[in-house]
Structure 1
C-alpha cells in the first residue's frame, strides 16, 4: 500500500508539472497563431494510451512516462520529424514567426514552472506557516559524530557562522555545512574559523542520511517507554538518566550510544527522580535498544512563523530562489572527486522510494499533502532550471539558437539545427538510461 501511494504521488506530481510546462509552450503558440499538432502527457512512440483530436491539435497520454511534449508545426523538436521542414515555410509555422515570438514560446514552459513553484510555496507559507527547529534556543553544543569531526568540528563547538552567514534553522544548517567552504565556531571561549574538510563530507555521503552528522543535544529525560521489561525494571516517564555503570551522562545521545554499544547486557543506570538518585538495572535487547524515547522535550525548540497574504507572496518567491540555490550548489558535491556525491544521485525509482508519506500510529499510510506540494514546488523550480541548460533537445538549446539569430540578424542553418537536435536527443536518452541503470543496479546490489 505504501509503495502504491508513493507511485501515485510521483505520477501525480510529474503529471501536474509536465502538463503545466507544456501549457506554457502551448498558450503563447496559440496566441501567436502557430499551429500546434500535438499536446501529450508522456511520450507516445508507436502508440498512445489515450488520444483525441480537437480542432487542429491531437491531445493524448503516452505510455512512456519520461515527461511530455507539444509538437509545434515548423519546429525542429524531439520527434525529429523534418519532412515538413523541406517545404516552404507557411505563415502558421513556428519557423515563420518573428524571433521574439519564438523566444516567448520557448521560454513559456520554464516560466510556468517557476511561477508554479512560487505559487505553491506562497500558499504553503500562507496556509501552513513555516515550522523550523531554532538552534539559537538550544544552550548545549551540538552533538558531533565522527563524520562531523572529520569535517573539522570538535566536541563543545558552538556554530556561529557558515561561510560568514548565520543559520539557525537546523535542517538548513546541516545542508549549509555540507555545502560550505569554512565554518566559524566558538571553541573554548574563542572564535575559530576552519575550512570544512572534504574527507568528512565524503563520510557523510556514505551514510544513509548525509545530514545526520549534526544533531542537537538535550538532557536524557525519558518521555516514552515502549518495552514492558524496561517498565518492570522500574524506569518511569520523567526520569532523567544521569549515570550508566558509574559513568556520568549529561545528554541523551550519550545514553543512546552507551546502550547501542552494550547489546544483550544489563546496565546499572542512575536516574534522577523527584530530586533523588534512583539506581536501576536495565536489560538491553540483542539489537542494542531499551524501547524508550526522549524527544517530546524538543518541541520547545520548534518555532512556527505565520505570514499574511501579502507577506506570503514575497516569501513564496524567496523560497523558490532558496530551493533552486541549494540544488545548484549541490553540484559542487556531486562532482567533487573526494565527496563523490554522484553516488547519491538517483533517478525516478529513487525519487519514488523517497516520496513522503504520512504514517499513522495504527500503521496506516496516507498522503502527506504538505510534503507532496513542497516536493512538487521544489521539483518545478528544478525543472525550470534544467530546461534552461543550453543543450539541444531542451528549451535552453532552442533559446540559445534564437538569441543567436536575434543578435546576428540571420537564423542558424536548418541542417545545423537538425544535427544539433539529434545530438541533444541522443545525449538526453543516454543520460536517462544511465540514471535508470544506476537505480536498477542499486536495487540488484541491495544499495538502493
Structure 2
C-alpha cells in the first residue's frame, strides 16, 4: 500500500506540473495576442470542480477539476473540448480566437507542445547539472554480457563485450543499445580478446523487449557478494566470497545462471502448490569444493546478493551553462527514440502493450527518488508534446492541421465541420483511454 501511494503521489505531481506547463503555453500566447481566456483548469470539471477562483477584474476563472485526465484552457471563440457551440453562433468579437490572424492562432495552438518540449530540455539540463551523468561504459564491463537462448542462436555468446553496431560505437547499456542492435545488420563484439562480427536477422524491438529471460543483460560473476544473517544461504553455511558451481547438478557459470535456476525452481514449486523449495548447491571456497542442501524461505529467496562486479564508473560533470547543450542533446535523442518506437504501436502486439495510468505510474520508483522523478517527468513531457502534435482532431495537432489548411487554401473550414471533427476526435481519444486502462486491468488480473 505504501508503494502504491508513493507512486500515485509522484504520478499526480508529475502530471499536474506537465498540465500546468502545457496549458500555460496556450494561455501565454492567447494573452500575448489579447485573446480572452475564460477558464484555466488543472484536470477536467464536468458538473463540478474541486476548487475555482476568479480574480477581481479578470476574465479568467482558475480551478482544479475532479477528473484527472489532463486539463484545459477555455479560449473565447474557439471550438474545443468544452463544445461551447452557442458562443460560436454569436457575432465574432475582437478578443476572440476566431477573430485573430491565422498565424497568431497557430502560435496559440502549438504553445502547449512547445512549452512541454522546452520543459523536458530544461529538466534534462538541470538533471545533468545537479547529478551529472554516471554510467559504466560497455568497454569497461570486462565480464561482458549475458545472452538468452534466442540471442545465442543469432551468434552471441556469454561474456561477449559489445563494441559497435553497423560501425556505430556502443557506449552504455540502455534502451538505445537494444534499439541499435535490433536495427543493425552487423554487430561487432570482443570475444576472448578478438573481434567477432555477428550478422543480425530482422528483429522487432517490441518482441525482444518482452523476452524472459532478457535478450541480453549484464553478466554477473558467480561469486556471493553478501549473505543475510539468518537467511537460507547463511543456514546452509554459504559465505561471502564463495563461488557457486552447480545447482541440482546443473553447472553455473554466472550469478545470472543461478537466478534463472531459482526462477525455474519457483515455477515448479508453485505449480505443485508449495510455498518453499529446496535444492542442492555445489560451491567452492579457497579452492575447496563442497555440496550443501539449501531450503528457501517462503518467498523463494535465499537472502543473498551475488555477482557484483567492481567496474570502473565513468562520470561526466557539467557546469550550469554547459548542461544546456548536453540536456538538449539528451532530450532530442529521447524524442527520436520514442518516435522511432511508435511504429510498434500499430501492430497487434503493440496495441496490447498500450498502457494507461497504471502503466505510467509503474515507471516511477517504489521509493521517493528526486533524480528518477525528474527523469520520468522529462520523459513524460516529451511524450505529451509528441502525442499532442499528432494531426488528430481534438488534439493540438488537429487544430494545427486545420489552421495550416486555412493558411494554404486561404479559407477556413466551416464551424460545423470543426464541431464534428472535434467530436470524432474526442470519441477516439476516450476509446484509446478506455483501451489503455483496460489493458492495465488485464495485466493486474492475469
Fold shared per TM-score above 0.5: yes
- Of the three residues 359, 363, 366, the one matched with 1:350 is 359
- Of the three residues 273, 279, 304, the one matched with 1:292 is 304
1:125, distance to aligned residue in structure 2 (A): 0.3
Query: What does 1:120-139 align with in structure 2 at a 5 Å threshold?
Result: 120-139=123-142
For 1:402 and 1:91, the matched residues in 2 are separated by: 19
Q: Structure 1 residues 405, 228: CA separation in 2 closer, same or farther (over 3 Å shift)?
A: closer
Q: Is the 8 A contact 1:180 1:196 kept in 2?
A: no
**What's the TM-score once normalised by structure 2's chain length?**
0.87
Query: What does 1:178-257 align with in structure 2 at a 5 Å threshold?
Result: 179-186=182-189, 189=194, 191-198=196-203, 202=207, 204-205=209-210, 207=212, 212-226=214-228, 227-241=230-244, 249-257=252-260
**What's the TM-score once normalised by structure 1's chain length?**
0.86
- Of the three residues 331, 337, 360, the one matched with 2:342 is 331
For 1:442 and 1:270, the matched residues in 2 are separated by: 39
- Of the three residues 99, 103, 111, the one matched with 2:102 is 99
Query: What does 1:146-161 align with in structure 2 at a 5 Å threshold?
Result: 146-149=149-152, 153-155=156-158, 157-161=160-164
For 2:66 and 2:202, the matched residues in 1 are separated by: 46
Q: Which sits farther off after the overlay, 74-83 or 231-240?
A: 231-240
Query: What does 1:272-287 align with in structure 2 at a 5 Å threshold?
Result: 272-273=285-286, 276-285=287-296
**Structure 2 unaligned residues grouped into runs of 5+:** 267-276
Give the number of equivalent residue pairs.
429
Q: Which sits farther off after the overlay, 131-140 or 236-245?
A: 236-245
For 2:398 and 2:23, the matched residues in 1 are separated by: 16
Q: Is the 8 A contact 2:247 2:279 kept in 1?
A: no
SS in 2 for 1:115: helix
For 1:392 and 1:177, the matched residues in 2 are separated by: 34
For 1:127 and 1:225, the matched residues in 2 are separated by: 34
For 1:151 and 1:335, the matched residues in 2 are separated by: 27
**Structure 1 unaligned residues grouped into runs of 5+:** 359-366
For 2:353 and 2:150, the matched residues in 1 are separated by: 17
1:173, distance to aligned residue in structure 2 (A): 5.1
1:168, distance to aligned residue in structure 2 (A): 2.2
Matched, 1:322 2:333: yes
Q: Structure 1 residues 229, 50: CA separation in 2 closer, same or farther (over 3 Å shift)?
A: closer
Q: Which sits farther off after the overlay, 71-80 or 226-235?
A: 226-235
SS in 2 for 1:300: coil
Q: Is the 8 A contact 1:181 1:195 kept in 2?
A: yes
For 2:261 and 2:430, the matched residues in 1 are separated by: 50
Query: What does 1:419-434 align with in structure 2 at a 5 Å threshold?
Result: 419-434=420-435
For 2:264 and 2:69, the matched residues in 1 are separated by: 47
